[in-house]
Amino acid sequence: MNKQTDAFMGNLRGSTPDAAADVAAIGTPLPHESATLHVSGEAIYTDDIPELAGTLHAALGLSRHAHARIASLDLTAVRNAPGVVAVLTAADIPGENNCGPVLHDDPILADGAVLYLGQPVFAVVAETHEHARRAASLAKSDEVVRYEPLEPVLTVAAAKANKQYVLPPLHLTRGTPASKIASAPHRLQRTFEVGGQEQFYLEGQIAYALPKEMDGMLVHSSTQHPSEMQQVVAHMLGWPTHNVVCECRRMGGGFGGKESQSALFACVAALAAQQLHRPVKLRADRDDDFLITGKRHDALYQYEAGFDEAGRILGARVEIALRAGYSADLSGAVATRAVCHFDNAYYLSDVDIVALACKTNTQSNTAFRGFGGPQGALVMEVMIDDIARELGLDPLDVRLANYYGIGERDVTPYGQRVEDNILAPLTEELLASSDYRARRAARAAFNAKSPVLKRGIAITPVKFGISFNVPFLNQAGALVHVYKDGSVLVNHGGTEMGQGLNTKVAQVVAGELGLALSRVRVTAADTSKVANTSATAASTGSDLNGKAAEAAARTIRERLAALAAKTLGGNAEDVRFEHGSVISNGGAMPFAQLVNAAYLARIQLWSDGFYATPKVHWDAKTLTGHPFYYFAYGAAVSEVVVDTLTGEWKLVRADVLHDAGQSINPAIDLGQVEGGFIQGMGWLTTEELWWNRDGRLMTHAPSTYKIPAVSDTPAAFNVRLYRNENAEPTVFRSKAVGEPPLLLPFSVFLAIRDAIAAAAPEVKSAPPLRAPATPEAILDALEARETQRDANAASPAPSNSTTATAA
């Protein structure tokens, strides 16, 4: 711990109230505002809120079929089960039976038909959680629910073949890609696939609803989007929005999974509370959470590229078929972000991008860190790797040949100019610090002597667009209260999910008022304080809410400065707020003293603040505009060793250089980069979702669904922040950091591919490795490669052919 951190920790423990007074609040690697609470177990999550007397517990009865008509529903046995107080169905919903965030295609409780296996059909309300769960499990009985099964569509390929989409296909073309590909000296055409990913927040979905007087409802919800929870609950009950308050102090992780899909849980808890006039808690068990909620969209790709000798892409086309699941949810915006991230770091003069949101009888896929961006960019990185292997080049050199330029070759396929490009210097710096070229040569020497263990190395860059790609969502509000003793309370529209948003916002306000962080307290997100907030998502939490809080604090500061100038002399504009003091005209007074004087002078000591991101606009018809305020960049070098007999592998070293602009809190930002990297690595390697032929998700618990563990962190994990300032005037010139690092471990996947390639170096084309690169996938790719080697030996291919197709 450094000295500043040490001082702050002391302060957190309450030992020395002003020990942190000299610490500049902003730009300092202070610990998370709840760090000690997280590790001591004192942090209050929704399930830790002391239950009111009379609290009941709800559980959901889930469908057993992926697609069926509900022929009959007889809930007598469920009602008669021990401890049961009530059983609710769609018929009990007074308002609209819908919790869809965009389209109205998301029933809260199934009505007439079920569209996926795991869909909630009824809700049980009982005296205890255990009673509710036992009664809900009667949903498995034929006597309770009888189904007339219909044909389910369970795969992306089947949905695509049926042209079955939740939203119309997206199509973006620039230039003449078909003719550029046709006339290119080299071409390739391939398919690729990547799996989905469960958010696996440590705290599952949960809501606790408390009825209030005059048709009021307070809903404690573990949600990234309190305003939407407020709105869907009100809508479901047929009430005006102002009857409902939604509060969230913190989540034990959201990762996108609580951007929209906390709604079903909030609605069921609130429905039960409204019907029974008692507080009701609904906490989904992990297995139910897996079965009910949507995940990252898995994708099937078809792509094609034409390129020159240097690997420069002359034309490219891709079709990205995403699994949307049974309803639209956020899939439109996810697919749009996929379209806008296919380019990743590369200029594509002539390009054609299609994204399909395929409708299947599976969970409704939703936001997950990166929000379609990873699915868009991954296939580009795979394609570049393919091109390099066809040409026998270092994939790094093909990447560099295609990087966005500065002042030329700098317009994205969707028409936004890349104005803040730092790809080249960032890559240079990482190449030097990671010693990439020498290690690439060393891995070849190692592989030449090692028949079973093969090493692979890869570098991949990231360019990630920051802003909600729906422009109106880019707004935020905050409230700052200064009390008479000079202590400060902040409320803003964002939610805390572990990412450190509250810490950063407190740092911004403390910085603005020249106070130690201990003088600023951030309260729970609460829809009765800031209205009509956006989800804390798209990595924009600190950009938006930091700016809004800064504006509110600035208003108060200006009022105080005027009084200070009057009291101490000097000009209001020259008054400084530093180290807990207010300084003007050579004189100084403690902040608290000035505040008290302001109170006595009847000066308003609280203020709101509002922020709307400038510059962003988007034409959803043409898929062009300026959807992102700016871009965040990064790059990573990963080295793996693969056991070619078992398919097991290990990440031995990763070097990461990531751009967080001028970081508000380097400690928190490094944590985000490390966490995002490991989470993205899990997506591409160990995390595999598997549905059986009935559409039942079989990997619905940690026993069968493997997220990375601490032991999967490489022994050498060199993570650094790139020294930079945002070119745009964001708060403290920082950059959003929540999602972009999830794309860094593309380098892990391609390093595994590199190691597999070394197992049969005679074969020129890239190994057909699917993602996630589980040991099975690795063995399949090794086998395919050996088969290809043997086929090549039997009938050598003409040397000028570079067209390859792989499954």
Q: Which residues are catalytic?
A: 739
- Compare residues 675 and 738 and give the one whose CB is closer to ligand HPA: 738
Partner whose binding site includes residue 119, from ligand MOS, ligand MTE, ligand HPA, none (CB under 5 to 8 Å by kind): none
Is residue 598 helix, strand or coil? helix
Amino acid 118 reads G
> DSSP secondary-structure letter at 23?
S
Q: Please report where in the chains the tokens 């890869």 appear, as a residue.
A: 458
Q: Confirm if 579 and 513 have CB atoms less than 8 A apart.
A: no
473 binds ligand HPA (CB under 6 A): yes
Calculate the alpha carbon distances from 139 to 78, 112, 268, 272, 326 in Å. Answer: 8, 15, 17, 18, 20
> Positive or negative, the Cα torsion across 38, 44, 45, 48?
positive
Which range in 364-372, 405-413, 562-570, 704-712 contacts ligand MOS by CB under 6 A? 364-372
- Strands 244-248 vs 216-221: parallel, antiparallel or unpaired: parallel
For the segment 710-769, give every residue that binds ligand MTE (CB under 6 A). Answer: 736, 738-739
- Quick check: 474 and 613 in contact, CB under 8 A? yes
Considering only 281-289, 445-453, 465-473, 713-721, which stretch makes contact with ligand HPA by CB under 6 A?
A: 465-473
Q: Which of residues 735-754 bind ligand MOS (CB under 6 A)?
A: 739
Q: Which of 254, 493, 570, 682 binds ligand MTE (CB under 6 A)?
A: 254
Least Cβ distance, residue 271 to ligand MTE (angstroms): 27
Judged by CB under 6 A, which stretch of 108-116, 469-477, 631-639, 743-751 contacts ligand HPA? Answer: 469-477
Under the binding rule (CB under 6 A), the answer on residue 657 touching ligand MOS is no
- Please select the residue that binds ligand HPA; options are 123, 246, 340, 470, rule is CB under 6 A: 470
- Please, which residue, 468 or 649, has the CB nearer to ligand HPA? 468
CB 444 within 8 A of CB 631: no
Q: Does 224 participate in binding ligand MOS (rule CB under 6 A)?
A: yes
State yes or no: residue 540 binds ligand MTE (CB under 6 A).
yes
Report, in Å, the least distance between residue 761 CB and ligand MOS. Answer: 39
Q: Is 477 or 570 the residue whose CB approaches ligand MTE more closely?
A: 477
Among 333, 345, 508, 654, binds ligand HPA (CB under 6 A): 333
Q: Which of 468, 618, 629, 722 binds ligand HPA (CB under 6 A)?
A: 468
CA 592/CA 595 separation, integer angstroms: 5
Q: Which of residues 367-386 bind ligand HPA (CB under 6 A)?
A: 367, 371
Ordered DSSP codes for 256-294: TTTTSTTHHHHHHHHHHHHHHTS-EEEE--HHHHHHHS-
Q: What tokens appear for 556 in the block?
A: 């108060």
Interface characters, 351-370, with ligand MTE (x: CB under 6 A): ------------------x-
Distance CA 358, CA 336 (A): 14
539 binds ligand MTE (CB under 6 A): yes
Nearer to ligand MTE, 659 or 739 (CB): 739
Q: Which of 106, 259, 639, 688 binds ligand MOS (CB under 6 A)?
A: 259
Counts for the chain of helices (H) and strands (E), in that order = 20, 29
Number of shown-chain residues binding ligand MTE (CB under 6 A): 21
Q: Which does 499 bind (CB under 5 to 8 A by kind): ligand HPA, ligand MTE, ligand MOS, none?
A: ligand MTE
Indicate the SS3 state at residue 716.
strand
The verdict on 806 binding ligand HPA (CB under 6 A) reads: no
How far apart (Å, rounded) are the C-alpha atoms in residues 799 and 115? 51
> Residue 602 burial by CB count (10 A; 0-12/13-18/19+): exposed, middle or buried?
exposed
Residue nearest to ligand MTE (CB): 541
Tell me if 263 contacts ligand MOS by CB under 6 A.
no
User: Is 497 among the residues that bind ligand MTE (CB under 6 A)?
Assistant: yes
Q: How far is the CB of 284 from ligand MOS (least distance, A)?
A: 19
Residue 369 or residue 492: which is nearer to ligand HPA going by CB? 369
Among ligand HPA, ligand MTE, ligand MOS, none, the one that 514 touches (CB under a kind-dependent 5 to 8 A) is none
Tokens of 732: 């403290």
How far lies 641's CA from each of 229, 245, 780, in Å?
Answer: 46, 52, 17
Residue reference for tokens 């380097």: 666
Residue 340: CB minimum distance to ligand HPA, A: 9
Contact pick of 456, 498, 609, 708 for ligand MTE (by CB under 6 A): 498
Q: Measured from the CB atom, is 508 or 537 closer to ligand HPA?
A: 537
Identify which of residues 279 and 745 has a Cβ nearer to ligand MOS in the complex: 745
Residue 736 interacts with ligand HPA (CB under 6 A): yes or no: no
**Hunting for tokens 């695509």 — which residue is that?**
160
d(CA 587, CA 585): 5
Q: Tell me which residue has tokens 């034929």.
A: 142
- Residues 500, 672: contact at Cβ < 8 Å? yes
- Are 383 and 314 in contact by the 8 Å Cβ rule? The answer is no
CA 25 to chain centre: 27
Does the protein bind ligand MOS through residue 369 (CB under 6 A)?
Answer: yes
Q: Which stretch binds ligand MTE (CB under 6 A): 122-130, 492-500, 518-526, 712-720?
A: 492-500
Query: Between residues 305 and 538, which has the closer beta carbon with respect to ligand MTE?
Result: 538
Q: Binder to ligand MTE among 291, 501, 560, 637 (CB under 6 A)?
A: 501
The option from ligand MTE, ligand MOS, ligand HPA, none interacting with 330 (CB < 5 to 8 A, set by class) reads ligand HPA
Near ligand HPA by CB under 6 A: residue from 249, 250, 337, 696: 337
- Cβ 629 vs Cβ 636: under 8 Å: no
Angle made by CA atoms 798, 804, 807, in degrees to the nearest 5: 145
Q: Which stretch binds ligand HPA (CB under 6 A): 330-338, 584-592, 603-611, 632-640?
A: 330-338
Residue 468 or 611 with smaller CB distance to ligand MOS: 468
Note whether 295 binds ligand MTE by CB under 6 A: no
Closest by CA position to 657, among listed 444, 388, 436, 438:
436
Which token pair is 136? Answer: 């809900």
Instruction: Look up residue 751 and give its two tokens.
Output: 């390093």
User: CB–CB of 85/127 below 8 Å?
Assistant: yes
Order of strands, sheet of 581-584, starting from the edge strand that comes earlier in the sequence: 576-578, 581-584, 587-590
Instruction: Identify what 469 binds: ligand MTE, ligand MOS, ligand HPA, none; CB under 5 to 8 Å per kind.
Output: ligand HPA
By CB under 6 A, residue 340 contacts ligand HPA:
no
| 3-class secondary structure, 806 | coil
Tell me how far, at minimum, the Cβ of 442 lies from ligand HPA, in Å: 40
Write down the least CB distance from residue 540 to ligand MOS, Å.
8
Residue type, 427: T
Q: Could you give the CA distance from residue 583 to residue 24 in angstroms, rounded to a whole number?
A: 16
Q: Name which of 247 and 739 has its Cβ closer to ligand MOS.
A: 739
Nearer to ligand MOS, 514 or 676 (CB): 676
- The pair of structure tokens assigned to 522 is 């951030």
The total number of residues written for the chain in this structure: 807
Alpha helices in 532-603 (DSSP H): 541-568, 591-600
Q: What are phi and psi of 642, to 5 degrees?
A: -115, 135
Residue 429 and residue 657 in contact, taking contact as beta carbons nearer than 8 Å: yes
In the block, which residue shows the tokens 């997100």? 525
Residue 684 near residue 777, CB atoms below 8 Å: no
Is residue 537 near ligand MOS by the rule CB under 6 A?
Answer: yes
Residues making contact with ligand MOS (CB under 6 A): 224, 256, 259, 367-369, 371, 537-538, 739
Give contact residues for ligand MTE (rule: CB under 6 A): 253-256, 369, 497-499, 501, 536-542, 672, 675, 736, 738-739
Task: Note the residues at the interface with ligand HPA (CB under 6 A).
Answer: 259, 330, 333, 337, 367, 371, 468-470, 473, 537-538
